[in-house]
Structure 1
Amino acid sequence: MKITTIGLDIAKRFFHVVCCNDQGRLVSKKMLSRAQVLTFFQNHPSCLVALEACATSHYWAREIQKCGHKVKLIPPQHVKAFLIGNKNDYNDALAIAVAAKQHHIKSVGIKSIEQQDNQAQHKARELAVRQRTALCNQIRGLIAEYGIILNQGVNNIRKNIPLMLDDETKPLSGAFKTILRQLQVQLNALDTCIEAYGKLIVETVKTNDICQRVQTIPGFGPMVSSAYFNEVGNGSNYQRGRDVSASLGIVPRQHSSGGKDTLLGISKRGNSYLRCLLIQGAKAVVSRANTKNDKLSQWINRLVQTRGHNRACVAYANKMARMAWAITVSGEEYSPV
């Protein structure tokens, strides 16, 4: 029987393959070691190979594509619905194969090496920011035990640590000051790290044509355009701009029944990091719209008056995502109306 679909359950060492025919019936299944995976697909006739969109899936998708197969990455939450019986690796692979044949399930775009390089920069910077926040909270907590309460904020802590180390009137022991100096060194190192990652992102954006064109849209800077490219790429995985904004969770959540449409707050699905950056960029534009008189600013000002500042920010973030997709696929730059 001709095999048309292969479900592949990936792991670190042992991979499980399920082969199905055009009617969805199971033809064969087998377990492969990591070294055997590419050899198996190189020797197999071209077909649809489905993987779950999880860790290392983009790497394997690219490598399997090189073997001449069509590859689909299925979101894990959609695979779960097709799992029948007990959970094991073969049943997982079969559920992936069945989910891949459902036309209403949208697949995840396969990231290029360039996208993954850019994403690594953002992930490393995001990690350093989280570590700095945790360190600042730790410093505030330790100092509070000596009766000194510091206000929140990294800048406030940077400013106050040297003052406390030099002030002999503060109730800090010599042993604690030694610890505080070491924590100050850690804080400075994280600041240097974050600054270096930021400069690296800016330099990378300068050589990326899509990021350069997207930055012509008000609200897009190097950070936002780079994160957008990491998620959307060349936009070929989306049919329209509305699909991009929906995938990022900046559209209303729907709960309709009986012919009555009910729209709630935004769905907050998808990439929360990019959604956060888009809304931050939108806030910068909305806060300055009242000083301008172009059509975009007039639209924003009307929204602020009728719906409030925060809703206007989210609405413009939605528009930013849609405009960015249009610019990405058209090869043009933003042109104010």
Structure 2
Amino acid sequence: MNEITTVGVDLAKEVIAVCAADRSGKTVFTRVFRRDAFAAWAVQLPPCLFGLEACGAAHHWARWLASHGHTPRLMAAEFVQPFRKSRAAKNDRNDAEAVLTAVRQPNMRFVAVKSIEQQACLSWHRLRQGYSEERTALINRVRGLLGEFGVWRGRSAAVLTRALPALEHDEALPLMVRRLVGEARQHLARLDEAIAGCEVEIKNHVKGNVAAHRITAITGVGPLTAAAMLATVADVRDFKNGRQFAAWQGLVPRQDSSGGKARLGRITKRGDSYLRGLLTQGARSALQAALIKEPLRRTRLQGWIVQLHARVGYHKTLVAIANKHARRIWAILAKGEAYDPDAWRRWSRTAPTSAPAMTGVTP
């Protein structure tokens, strides 16, 4: 049998399908293993290139394969899908063959393997995210149920939460509904406590981290965002520049260009929605800080934010600020330097001689 050099792996909960090829690219065999059998088989192989989709347990298997002398490569599922022979014949074996074909592409983009520490921190973020989603669902459910009895307390979650103690003792509501409100209020308190506990764990994790401390110097970027960024991005130097880093987080316009005409639409929303949401929330606080500050005391960046808000509106300004935060985070992590908001003062900015100078304040 020809020597195996490349293996495509399709991971599942109980079984693992593999498609192995030799140096010439010819398929040697395709097989489905149980988890223990796959580990025993992979240990016996000479150092090989393993391709895996970046799905559940992929980072664990990538670390395990690397510890046994192999070279693991993780790929996003959307980059593997075009190499599947037929959409009508999707199964584990065909998926493994598609992974094998994809990992051999010279221009394929790979996902960096996360360390155990990064995944441990991300686990707390995922738990917090789940609690937050459950809290939102509970509030919406209670609001809808109370609406069936003619009770309306507005769209704000804070307003409804403050009204629950009074509604629990409102004689105009049936006894069963009042008991329901009491149960919902207690459950909401437990969720708030759980969310706060997750945030404490996350903040303690990055308390002594120098990179996290540098990131939080940016207005609107707090410990949660810094921890999520460091845990999600294995190596920021995988990105060529800050623009690529912001595009990876879905903070750039979608392109539909053809024939030399550029057409830009809404943001792509690629990447991790949780991380993008944290950046957007931080951008909201930065925008509010700029709007309420006295005009003569605004920084150069805050002046740009206020002008942009007046020109394009609230939501587009949030995206622009989040994009700028992402670029600055990349610069801090890639260069290993502290954030200096006055660094622009040390660089001379001269208008080009071939074109008129642009008006307005730029960041």
Q: Which residue of 2 aligns with 1:107?
A: 110
Q: Which residue of 1 aligns with 2:178?
A: 177
- Note the C-alpha offset of 1:251: 0.8
In 1, the alpha carbon distance for the partners of 2:150 and 2:254 equals 47
- Note the C-alpha offset of 1:82: 0.6
In 1, the alpha carbon distance for the partners of 2:308 and 2:153 equals 39
In 2, the alpha carbon distance for the partners of 1:19 and 1:64 equals 15
Q: 1:147 to 1:302 in 2, by over 3 A?
A: closer
In 2, the alpha carbon distance for the partners of 1:120 and 1:68 equals 27
Q: 1:114 to 1:260 in 2, by over 3 A?
A: same
In 2, the alpha carbon distance for the partners of 1:66 and 1:236 equals 23
In 1, the alpha carbon distance for the partners of 2:304 and 2:286 equals 12
Aligned residue for 1:206, secondary structure, equals: coil
- Note the C-alpha offset of 1:277: 1.3
- Note the C-alpha offset of 1:250: 0.5
- Note the C-alpha offset of 1:305: 4.1
Q: 1:297 to 1:165 in 2, by over 3 A?
A: closer
- Note the C-alpha offset of 1:40: 2.1
1:94-173 alignment to 2 at 5 Å? 94-167=97-170, 170-173=171-174
Q: Which residue of 1 aligns with 2:282?
A: 281
Q: Is the 8 A contact 2:245 2:327 kept in 1?
A: yes
Deviates more, 1:18-27 or 1:320-329: 18-27
Q: 1:103 to 1:316 in 2, by over 3 A?
A: farther
Deviates more, 1:262-271 or 1:176-185: 176-185
1:319 paired to 2:320: no
Q: Which residue of 1 aligns with 2:360?
A: none
Query: Percent of counterpart pairs with the same letter?
Result: 36
- Note the C-alpha offset of 1:67: 0.8
In 1, the alpha carbon distance for the partners of 2:106 and 2:282 equals 35
1:158-307 alignment to 2 at 5 Å? 158-167=161-170, 170-289=171-290, 291=293, 292-307=297-312
Q: 1:241 to 1:176 in 2, by over 3 A?
A: same
Q: Which residue of 2 aligns with 1:67?
A: 68
Q: 1:335 to 1:195 in 2, by over 3 A?
A: same
Aligned residue for 1:15, secondary structure, equals: strand
Deviates more, 1:116-125 or 1:143-152: 143-152
In 1, the alpha carbon distance for the partners of 2:7 and 2:180 equals 57
- Note the C-alpha offset of 1:121: 1.1
In 1, the alpha carbon distance for the partners of 2:71 and 2:240 equals 19
Q: Which residue of 2 aligns with 1:79?
A: 80
Aligned CA-pair RMSD: 1.9
Q: Match of 1:105, as an amino acid?
A: M
* Count of matched residue pairs: 335
In 2, the alpha carbon distance for the partners of 1:215 and 1:334 equals 9
Aligned residue for 2:16, secondary structure, equals: strand
Q: 1:163 to 1:308 in 2, by over 3 A?
A: closer
Q: 1:173 to 1:288 in 2, by over 3 A?
A: closer
- Note the C-alpha offset of 1:310: 2.9
Q: Which residue of 2 aligns with 1:50?
A: 51
Q: 1:195 to 1:335 in 2, by over 3 A?
A: same
